[in-house]
Structure 1
Amino acid sequence: MSSSSVSDEILKFATQYSLYTGCIMFSFGVIGNVLNLLVFTQLKLFRTNRCAFYITVESISNFIYQLLSITLTILTAIYGDDATGRFLIWCKLSGFLPVVIASLFSILAYHNVRHIVRRQLPIVRRKLDKQITAMVLMRVIAFVCLSSPYNAYRIYSINFPTSRSMPMAYAIIRLIQAILLSIFITNYTINFYIFILFSSRFRRQVKLVLVKKCWERWKYWCCRINNQIEPVNSETRNSQMESEENV
């Protein structure tokens, strides 16, 4: 098999890899970010917490980024270039912004830790601050680990571009780009999965939102449509949910 045919096969594999992983990441990201928004907006416990607000905003921005990233993935897969590499400012920002964002979350987490230690907070608030701090720290670690390889590659590719006149080297670079890009995009899909994996309290809160709030609300509307509304003591039900939120 000639080197030309091998490079063509590598390029074909890179194209298919980009498309499939892009669609998979997009699907998981939509599900995870929707669940994040449900939990952080439906539970009153999170509404007065600054870090929870930042996570909510990040989940919304992740939707926007995912739309952009899936578009760039398709462009890269079809044309072999997402056009961002032609802009030096974009490359520098894509290498610099992750450090800024990670530092911001680290400062917020450290600020929370100092407040937990110094202030005499209620037990419920103390538990929440510890939970959010642990979640944010795990998010920062994941962000740095998943962002660094692709950003390093982007900086390298701008300074040392590979010409199409070298088909084998170009094909290998394209494959590396596809793999590192898929790892980078994972950053914007895994918030919910990191939280639910490392926080048992968050798992209980997700269950509370899905079962006690969303499912019960859906049943209520179904019964209302069928004119089979059962009498419910709303005050008792709300107080019970609030107590379960604080567990």
Structure 2
Amino acid sequence: MCTLKLGRYVTFIFVCFAIIHSIALGSSYDIQPTFGCVISDHTWVQYSTYFFYPVLVGLLPIVIASSFSILAYRNVRHIVRRQLPIVRRKLDQQMTAMVLMRVIAFVCLVSSYNAYRIYATNFPPSRSMPMAYAIGRLLQTILLSINNINYMISSYIFIIFSSRFRRQVEIVLVKKCWQRYKYWCCSINNRIESENNIEPCNS
């Protein structure tokens, strides 16, 4: 349904929207001596509580990813009923398993941080209570680290659930990268350096 040209236009529009939205939301933050960097405007607090974290960052990506994974699963089920080669069926099944596990990991890793951000936006921990503030900052750091795992876990999920992807990684790492590294190390160790020990001539 989408051409490459239309996809580029849509991507450009979404990038511009993300930049403008981030600038507008970032300008609503204010530094307060008791709470630190918090959203000062009540309108932006309501926006972050009821739309930004639960919908735009949380529910909307989950719904989109889940919808496409369900469509991929339905597509594979439709392909299995058709008379296609067994290799094609296996590849489609592996792709569906990879997409489903990616969606499950996305939901598990993102939802906890979004829930904490909704709570912290409405009830920011005060610095006048050092223990509660320290616990809140520690919890935020842990959940943010879990949230960042979402951006680096894709290749590991694909390695676990796809034998074809594992073979490709093995070919790249073992047969190409390791051979180049081995050749480079051996070529350095086998270099012959000439010695310029010229004895003085006796007159």
TM bucket by the smaller chain?
Answer: 0.5 to 0.7
Q: 2:53 aligns with which of 65, 76, 91?
A: 91
Q: Is the 8 A contact 1:105 1:137 kept in 2?
A: no
Equivalent residue, structure 2, for 1:118 = 81
Rounded to whole Å, the distance in 1 between the matches of 2:52 and 2:121 is 11
Rounded to whole Å, the distance in 1 between the matches of 2:37 and 2:156 is 31
Equivalent residue, structure 1, for 2:170 = 207
Equivalent residue, structure 2, for 1:41 = none
- Name segments (4+ residues, structure 1) moved above 6 Å: 213-216
TM-score normalized by structure 1? 0.48
Gapped regions of structure 1 (runs ≥ 5): 1-60, 62-79, 223-247
TM-score normalized by structure 2? 0.58
Equivalent residue, structure 1, for 2:120 = 157
Rounded to whole Å, the distance in 2 between the matches of 1:195 and 1:214 is 20
Q: 2:133 aligns with which of 170, 185, 197?
A: 170
Gapped regions of structure 2 (runs ≥ 5): 1-14, 16-35, 185-203
1:120-159, aligned counterparts within 5 Å?
120-159=83-122
After TM superposition, give the deviation of residue 103 of structure 1 in Å. Answer: 1.5
Equivalent residue, structure 1, for 2:160 = 197
- Judged with a 3 Å threshold, the aligned counterparts in structure 2 of structure 1 residues 81 and 183 are, in CA distance, closer, same or farther, namely farther
Cα RMSD of the aligned pairs, angstroms, is 3.5
C-alpha distance after superposition, 1:181-224 (max 9, x if no partner): 100110110100111123223211222344566778x69xx9xx
Q: Is the 8 A contact 1:95 1:151 kept in 2?
A: yes
| Structure exhibiting the larger radius of gyration computed from Cα positions | 2
Between 1:144-153 and 1:203-212, the stretch displaced more is: 203-212
- The share of aligned pairs that are identical, in percent, is 71
Rounded to whole Å, the distance in 1 between the matches of 2:163 and 2:38 is 40
Q: Is the 8 A contact 1:98 1:144 kept in 2?
A: no
